Amino acid sequence: MKKWLLLLLSYLPTILATVVAVETAATGLNVPGANKKQVVLDIITAGAKGAEVIPNDTVAGIGAIIDTVVGAFNKSGIFNKTTTVPITPVPIVVRTA
């Protein structure tokens, strides 16, 4: 539980910003959701691996958070075919113990 909560708190701002950026970039292009999810996951893991801060087993947890964020955005109507969402990039924050 503690590991999941730390993962969520560490990556949620970055995941939110990345999901919104990918969705905005893909607006009107008819890109399947699975492809957009993979782009988000690739961006986040590439950035984190570049900083050497993400273990491989954490990637699955990030994928689950992406699914939850996108599902919430879809249900709330934030993501639809006619709306674009302004974004502000959020950097990955690296915390060491």
In tens, the pLDDT along 54-66 reads 666 676 677 778 8
SS3 content of the chain, % helix, strand, coil (to 5): 65, 0, 35
The verdict on residue 20 lying in a domain is yes
Over the stretch 10-34, which tens digit does the pLDDT of each residue have?
778 888 888 888 888 887 778 888 8
Query: Looking at residue 60, what is its pLDDT?
Result: 67
The verdict on residue 44 lying in a domain is yes
The verdict on residue 91 lying in a domain is no
The verdict on residue 38 lying in a domain is yes
The verdict on residue 95 lying in a domain is no
Question: Residue 76 — very low, low, confident or very high, per pLDDT cuts 50/70/90?
Answer: confident
Query: Looking at residue 77, what is its pLDDT?
Result: 75
The verdict on residue 7 lying in a domain is no
- The answer to whether 7 touches 65, Cβ cutoff 8 Å, is yes
- Residue 39 pLDDT exceeds 80: yes
- The answer to whether 33 touches 70, Cβ cutoff 8 Å, is yes
The tally of domains found in the chain comes to 1
Domain extent, residue 64, equals 16-25+32-76
The verdict on residue 88 lying in a domain is no
Q: Could you give the angle at which helices 33-50 and 2-26 cross, rounded to 10 degrees?
A: 120
- Cβ-Cβ contacts under 8 Å for 22 (sequence gap 6 or more): 36, 39, 40, 43
Question: Residue 96 — very low, low, confident or very high, per pLDDT cuts 50/70/90?
Answer: low
The verdict on residue 56 lying in a domain is yes
Query: Looking at residue 5, what is its pLDDT?
Result: 77
